[in-house]
Amino acid sequence: MVLLRESPKIRSRYPTSARAGARVQVSALSPSRRHRYGCVLALTGILLSGLVHAQDTNEFRPYLQWRVGEFAPKWGVLDLRGISLGADFNQHWSAELALDAWQLNFEPLHSGVVFGEEQVFTLAPQARFRIPVGSDRLLLYSIVGVGGSWIQFNDRKAEGIGHRIDADGMTFSATAGLGFDYLLAPNIAFNLEGKYVWCDPIGIRIDGRRQDWDASSFLATLGLRIYFDKQPPEMLLSKAGVFKPVRFYFGTQGGFTVLTDGEWVSGAELVPKLNALGGTLNLNYTIALGADFGEHLGGELALAHTEYSLFLPGNGPVGEYSMYSAIPMLRLRFPSASGRWVPYAIAGAGVVYGEFHDVKPAGVGLGIRAKGTSPAFVAGAGVDYFIARNLSLTFESRWRYALDQKLAVPGGPTGKGDTSEIQFTVGFRAYLFEFGKRR
């Protein structure tokens, strides 16, 4: 493995064990209902983390924490994701602003009958008290916070058809929990966290009958905590003309998609979901494993998920259609002389798996079938901004075209069609390990 020459500033800031940890190993996602493949990446990060050394510091350090959950949905939490922006003030105290989003099955009066789902968002300032353990590579912590929750009814099920449901609202919430960080490198930590979110019940109405509904939930997540430490230019691996390493990375991105061709077959089309931002921008999630082969050429396997509403004229939105893509891509990179900015172009071909689900009232009894795998290709461009030699922020735009997706509606639209979208995403790439020599 190759390491860059360390400046005196870096030597003074981190001990020997921490500097060796610049060869970052990363853990990743927990399985969820729509992202099961992330479990493999999490296990990979944990196993590889034994190859590096890092320590906590007693300095002011801003960070971003990214997390996902639902690896034990027995307590009813679905599609759990969260992000926090915060800072360590010293070796013990931290503060952060935490945003969490998840869904719960909506069962009025605890009847066991699911009328739909409730989307819950919480935003809360939190205080974090950390206790270093052993060599300071492992940090146990507790968190407490207060904030607000926003609750919205969506994804009405068949049992909810015919009922007048008013189940939206805002309420006070409080959080408390425990967790630990395991430093994989001086600027990246694997994170496991469990916290309980107390939500003051909101008043809802079912067919005019009022009742209280409680969205309080236990949230368990896996994630990464990424510190935004300043790094001198000589600490950048991608500096043009200095190194030709082979570098392996894990990346994740989130953002929005815009349909450029939603017409599926004659009489059927994909349209933005009701919760699309501005009625146009649907959510997109991507995880990737890749490698940079020297200064300019790279390869990546990108796994992405998008979801739309299926619209039939005369019926309206009849349900949701999810697309999961697995696309190997080539990356052509153009590092700047300083190495901080690395623009790149991407292109690749792979497959998309599509599945129709969450039937809406207008789609009940239609017998819609839309499930299967079809070819797809991607082209786009992006830029990496290196904030450390093992970590870059990523801004990317790509066009994805899916061919021959199957749809069958008895007595209605039937056949194969193509769809396309533009994806706009923001994320990061964390470099796992590298091989190479100085020129």
pLDDT in tens, 162-200: 778 888 899 999 999 999 999 887 888 889 999 999 999
pLDDT of residue 242: 57
Environment class of residue 30 by beta-carbon count within 10 Å: exposed (0-12), middle (13-18) or buried (19+)? buried
Picking from 21-35, 93-107, 251-265, 362-376, which range would have the lowest pLDDT averaged per residue?
A: 21-35
Cα separation, 119 vs 67, whole angstroms: 18
Cα separation, 413 vs 426, whole angstroms: 37
**Lookup: tokens for 278:** 């501005």
Cα separation, 139 vs 92, whole angstroms: 9
Tokens 């009232």 belong to which residue? 361
pLDDT of residue 163: 78
Task: Report which listed range, 51-65, 243-257, 386-400, is most confident.
Answer: 386-400
pLDDT of residue 247: 87
Picking from 92-96, 161-165, 402-406, which range would have the lowest pLDDT averaged per residue?
A: 161-165
- Of 44, 118, 47, the residue nearest 79 (C-alpha): 118
pLDDT of residue 110: 64
Cα separation, 103 vs 83, whole angstroms: 16
**Does residue 274 contact residue 309 with C-beta atoms inside 8 Å?**
yes
Cα separation, 60 vs 142, whole angstroms: 19
Overall size of the chain counted in residues: 439
Residue 401 has pLDDT above 90, yes or no: yes
Instruction: Count CB neighbours of 290 within 10 A.
Output: 20
Question: What is the maximum alpha-carbon separation in the chain?
Answer: 75
Cα separation, 45 vs 28, whole angstroms: 7
**Does residue 354 contact residue 370 with C-beta atoms inside 8 Å?**
yes
Confidence of residue 396 (pLDDT cuts 50, 70, 90): very high
Q: What is the mean pLDDT of residues 259-268?
A: 89
Tokens 């927990």 belong to which residue? 30
Between vectors from CA 26 to CA 20 and to CA 32, what angle results, nearest 5°? 165
Residue 93 has pLDDT above 50, yes or no: yes
Cα distances from 398 to residues 84, 106, 242, in angstroms, run 27, 36, 30
- Of 111, 110, 114, 84, the residue nearest 98 (C-alpha): 84
Residues sharing a CB contact under 8 Å with residue 136, sequence separation 6 or more, in sequence order: 55, 56, 91, 183
Q: How many CA atoms lie within 13 A of 117 on its CB side?
A: 15
pLDDT of residue 4: 32
**Does residue 207 contact residue 163 with C-beta atoms inside 8 Å?**
yes
Tokens 């236990």 belong to which residue? 218
Picking from 231-235, 241-245, 384-388, which range would have the lowest pLDDT averaged per residue?
A: 231-235
pLDDT of residue 74: 64
**Does residue 159 contact residue 27 with C-beta atoms inside 8 Å?**
no
DSSP code, position 216:
-
DSSP string spanning 96-128? EEEEEEEEEEE-GGG-S---EEEEEEEEEEEEE
Whole-structure pTM value? 0.71
Cα separation, 389 vs 339, whole angstroms: 9
Confidence of residue 160 (pLDDT cuts 50, 70, 90): confident
Which of 77 and 437 is assigned the larger pLDDT?
77
pLDDT of residue 281: 86
Cα separation, 270 vs 417, whole angstroms: 11
Environment class of residue 278 by beta-carbon count within 10 Å: exposed (0-12), middle (13-18) or buried (19+)? exposed
Q: What percent of the chain has pLDDT over 70?
A: 80
Q: What is the pLDDT of residues 264-294, one digit of tens each?
A: 888 899 998 877 777 788 888 899 999 999 8
Q: How far is CA 41 from the centre of its chain?
A: 13
